[in-house]
Chain A
């Protein structure tokens, strides 16, 4: 589930003809409009999507709070770049899904 959601967020935000260079405004729109039902996340599951740079600094996060690791978390980490400076040298999209 985490893998599929991360893959959807990446592939829906790329520029035409590119694989891992994301259109930042498309990605931000996807995150700002993130809907767990549209994403196929069942009610009993919690989900958090976070973008961080290579040093681990958090750039944005949506979904359920993930300040404390609840254990049993399915995690998918994808690497991408953007044309703006913030992720020009690589950022990570981290999707975490866990049960309540």
Chain B
């Protein structure tokens, strides 16, 4: 073998190594470009995502039928709502039925509040449940705004429903209603107050 043949052989070997490196680099780059994310994921985050979606859906469905307004304006003789008003096991409004058919049937626990502004600032009244309960730190919180008007009828708690006051009493006419008319609202308008129905679920 001559010195020229040996030199050419080393050149071929070097070309082969460089070629192999280039092919490997191409494969690595191609794999990085392909989306290899799983089609499904599990765990706390995805469970909470699903729970949040379910809760948003049920609040939207309840808003469609005005069941949130019926729930918020439903009071007992003292003008306060009962803490079992959103009880899914004893529903008095379609909101309670929806809570039953979605969260309760799925084994989820939840608290329902109504939030509003009064003279002292932000107030919060619990609609369900009546006893002590602490939500875990990773619970999801979803709310939906409801605008109340002076002309909205006050509803009264009946045995298994919330019925409009038999005398046709409106929010503006009811002295004992637990939510005061907003002090920020012009007296000449029909707007009474804006509230939020909040569901904390886990």
Given the complex, which residues of A lie within 8 Å of B101, measured CB to CB?
A: 53-55, 89-91
The answer to whether A90 touches B98, judged by C-beta atoms less than 8 angstroms apart, is yes
Across the interface, do A72 and B61 meet the contact criterion of CB distance under 8 Å? no
Binds B, one of A17-25, A32-40, A60-68: A17-25
What's the Cα separation between A73 and B38 when bound, in Å? 9
**Could you tell me the distance in whole angstroms from the C-beta of A64 to the nearest C-beta in chain B?**
14
- Residue of A whose beta carbon sits closest to that of B104: A54
User: What sequence of 0s and 1s flags, for each residue 71-100 of chain A, a beta carbon within 8 Å of any chain B beta carbon?
Assistant: 011111111110000001111100001110
Set of chain B residues within 8 Å of A89, measured between Cβ atoms? 94, 97-98, 100-101
Q: Are B39 and A98 in contact (CB under 8 A)?
A: yes
**Chief secondary structure at chain B's binding surface:** helix
Q: Which of A19, A56, A97 contacts B39 (CB 8 A)?
A: A97
Given A1-B39, A72-B38, A89-B94: A20 touches B57 (CB 8 Å cut-off): yes
**CA gap between A98 and B102 in the complex, in Å:** 25
> B102: which A residues are within 8 A, CB to CB?
54, 79, 90, 92
Main secondary structure of the interface of A (DSSP, over half): strand
Give the number of chain B interface residues (Cβ < 8 Å): 20
Q: Known contacts being A55-B105, A89-B94, is A81 close to B39, with CB within 8 Å?
A: no
Closest CB of chain B to A38's CB: distance in Å?
20
Number of A-B residue pairs with CB-CB distance less than 8 Å in the complex they form: 70
Q: Are A19 and B105 in contact (CB under 8 A)?
A: no
Give the residues from 39 to 89 in chain B that come closer than 8 angstroms, CB to CB, to chain A: 39-40, 50, 53-54, 57-58, 60-61, 63-65
Q: In whole angstroms, how far apart are the Cα atoms of A54 and B65 in the complex?
A: 18
In angstroms, Cα B61 to Cα A21, docked, is 6
Known A21-B65, A90-B98: A79·B39 in contact at CB below 8 Å: no
B97 nearest in chain A by CB position: A89
Contact B63 A19 (CB under 8 A): yes
B: residues with CB less than 8 A from A are 38-40, 50, 53-54, 57-58, 60-61, 63-65, 94, 97-98, 100-102, 105
Contacts A54-B100, A77-B53, A77-B54 given; 17 further ones with Cβ under 8 A? A18-B64, A19-B60, A20-B64, A21-B65, A72-B40, A75-B40, A76-B53, A77-B50, A78-B53, A78-B54, A79-B61, A79-B102, A81-B61, A81-B64, A81-B94, A89-B98, A91-B101
Binding site for B on A (CB under 8 A): 1, 18-21, 45, 53-56, 72-81, 88-92, 97-99
Top 4 A-B residue pairs of the complex, sorted by shortest distance between their CB atoms: A54-B101, A90-B101, A79-B57, A20-B61
